[in-house]
Chains A and B, each alone.
Chain A
């Protein structure tokens, strides 16, 4: 079966760092994706990890540990526009999405 778990909500302060965790159990694994979805908009691709370790892309980084079935998305220097839902997705030929972590960035 497919199971993706992530926290429902998080709140952080502008300028701070926040880490959004994701654990997964999937039949077949071809990598772990992170997507960002603003309210009323489509999901947009943020990052992809297929090997263990940290992938850095500007203010956003994503980490994967395949042996632990664990990933996190790290957002640095938070801005108000980062307030959105962050979706973790993984699986084999078929992607299973988590329910998303609603991040609220406050002043």
Chain B
């Protein structure tokens, strides 16, 4: 039983396209996150939702738009993809904002 799942696992697309990544957790957690891990392995938070409400929104281009239809799902839509968006995107969840986080397997996005 997968705790935090993401689809797709790999995504290869061209510059200028729009794409979405989906995330689901079956842990009953209240808080979900999106992280970006670049080629230097630096893991940086992008967004956090608590009970479907956006609570953390880092300095991320507005081409990135998260959506949480319910507590168990947090999707990430990216418009007008750029080369610099190539990275691994991790979804994570935690029981509450300050507790340990459980990560999904990651989505490796390659923009050509």
B34 adjacent to chain A (CB < 8 Å):
no
Q: Which of B41, B42, B55, B90 contacts A42 (CB 8 A)?
A: B90
Q: Which of A31, A45, A100 contacts B98 (CB 8 A)?
A: A31
Number of A-B contacts (CB under 8 A): 41
* Range class of the B interface residue count: 20 to 34
Q: Are B101 and A42 in contact (CB under 8 A)?
A: no
Q: Are B100 and A45 in contact (CB under 8 A)?
A: yes
Task: List which A11-67 residues lie within 8 A (CB) of chain B.
Answer: 30-31, 33, 37, 41-45, 48
Q: Are A93 and B56 in contact (CB under 8 A)?
A: yes
Bound form: Cα–Cα A42–B98 in Å: 19
Q: Which 10 A-B pairs have the closest CB atoms?
A: A42-B103, A97-B43, A30-B98, A45-B100, A43-B103, A99-B42, A94-B56, A42-B105, A42-B106, A93-B97
Using CB atoms and an 8 Å cutoff, list the residues of chain B in contact with chain A: 40-45, 48, 55-56, 58, 90, 97-98, 100-106
List 19 interface pairs A-B (beta carbons < 8 Å), by A numbering.
A31-B98, A33-B101, A42-B105, A42-B106, A43-B43, A43-B90, A43-B103, A44-B103, A45-B100, A93-B55, A94-B45, A94-B48, A94-B56, A95-B45, A97-B43, A97-B44, A99-B40, A99-B41, A99-B42
